Structures are given as structure tokens and as C-alpha cells.
Amino acid sequence: MNAVNPESVAALKPPDELSSAVVPLLKGVVYQEESPAVWAALLNQQAGVRDYVAVLGLELMLDEAEGYAFLRSRPGNDDDSATATPRLVTRRQLSYAVSLLLALLRKKLAEFDAGGGDTRLILSRDQVVDLVRIFLPAGSNEVKLIDQIDATLNKIAELGFVRRLRGQQQMIEVRRIIKAFVDAQWLADFDDRLAEYRRQIDQPPEATDG
């Protein structure tokens, strides 16, 4: 997961005609539903925005159908050599708990989309707990499990992949931008790790001589 370095944002001065679109992008994800004016400016000036951020070693990722846009490092810009473009986007290492829940939510969204109907996937905390429970050892402490999931959901919300519904803290919406970060290959790789993890859980403890 990548995020624009806030200290770098302050030093960037895009041309005035691009500021209304570029500055919000440098601060985070732009959603059509949340920022319709910014979204309109971004669509109108898309070519100029792409050219400007390319100079900074970034590329614009825009999904008009899903209604979101964000910046990421350009391919080949991760070299740490002296000739590499200075990094404006910092890379975040995801914990196993965050990776697990992201994978499960992404799969849930795929199932939801396959069923048609509403475009917003809303889940209760209890539903999220049920998704995770099968990957935990039998007899896990329920209270501790809920606390851990709440903490993980808060982290994922900070990353922008879910949001808690206003006035309904037990309910979350899975943001569709998760599709841009958790692709089929990522899921396949993580499935392999999950399979190994579940084998370890299901494996009975080795007998010891009394």
C-alpha cells in the first residue's frame, strides 16, 4: 500500500489551472461521490494532471466507472540508486491481520458484485468477525477477537479501504478502491499463504512421551 508523503505535498506547487485537481490527489484518494467538484476538474484536466504527476515520478490511476482516483509510484521508480527519482510516495508494510482482512473483504466484494443489485457492500462487525473466525484456532477468546478485528478495521479505514457508517459504528462500507490494490494475482498468492496457515491450525499437536 502506498501513500503520498505529507512533507513532500507542502513543497509541491502545481500550476494554478491544475491545482484544484492535483492538490487533493497528493493528499489521498479522490472519490466522485465525496468530492464532485474535484472529480469534475480531474476529468476535465486529466491529460494535464497525468503530465504533471509524471514529472514527479507518479502516475494517475483513475477508474471512471467506479468513481475513484489516486496516485502511485510509476513502474521502475522504486530503485534506491542515486539516479532514481526522489520518492514522493511512501510504501507501507501491511500486517498479516490487515492482509487477511483485506483479502476476505475483497473476495466478499467479488461475490457481492457477481450477485448484482446494490453497488454498496455494507457489512456489520458481526459479519466481519464471521469472515475471520474460520482462520483462527478453535476456542479463540471471543472478546479479544472482536477487539482485534475492531483495531484491524480501524487500520483498514485509515488506509481508505473501508469506512464506518455515520451514526452506525458497528457497520462498515467496503470501498470499491480495494479492487485496485487487491487484484487477482495478489489474492492467488495470499490464498496459498492462507492454505498453509489453515493446515498449521488443523494439524494436531505432536504427541509427547509421558
What pLDDT is recorded for position 201? Answer: 56
Phi, psi for 85 (deg, rounded to 5): -65, 135
Three-class secondary structure of residue 163 per DSSP: strand
Tens of pLDDT along 10-24? 445 567 778 899 989
CATH architecture of 96-202: Orthogonal Bundle (1.10)
Cell numbers 477508474: residue: 63
Same CATH fold assignment for domains 2-91 and 96-202: yes
All cell numbers assigned to 88: 514522493
Mark the ranges of the chain whose per-residue pLDDT is less than 70.
1-14, 76-92, 137-139, 196-210
Is the CB of residue 150 less than 8 Å from the CB of residue 162? no
What pLDDT is recorded for position 61? Answer: 92
pTM: 0.68
Tens of pLDDT along 117-148? 778 899 999 999 998 887 776 667 888 888 88
| Domain boundaries 2-91, corresponding CATH code | 1.10.10.2250
C-alpha dist (Å) from residue 147 to 129, 141, 144: 10, 10, 5
Buried-state track 139-164, b at ≥16 Cβ within 10 A, e below 16: eeeeeeeeebbeebbebbeebbbbbe
- Domain extents in the chain: 2-91, 96-202
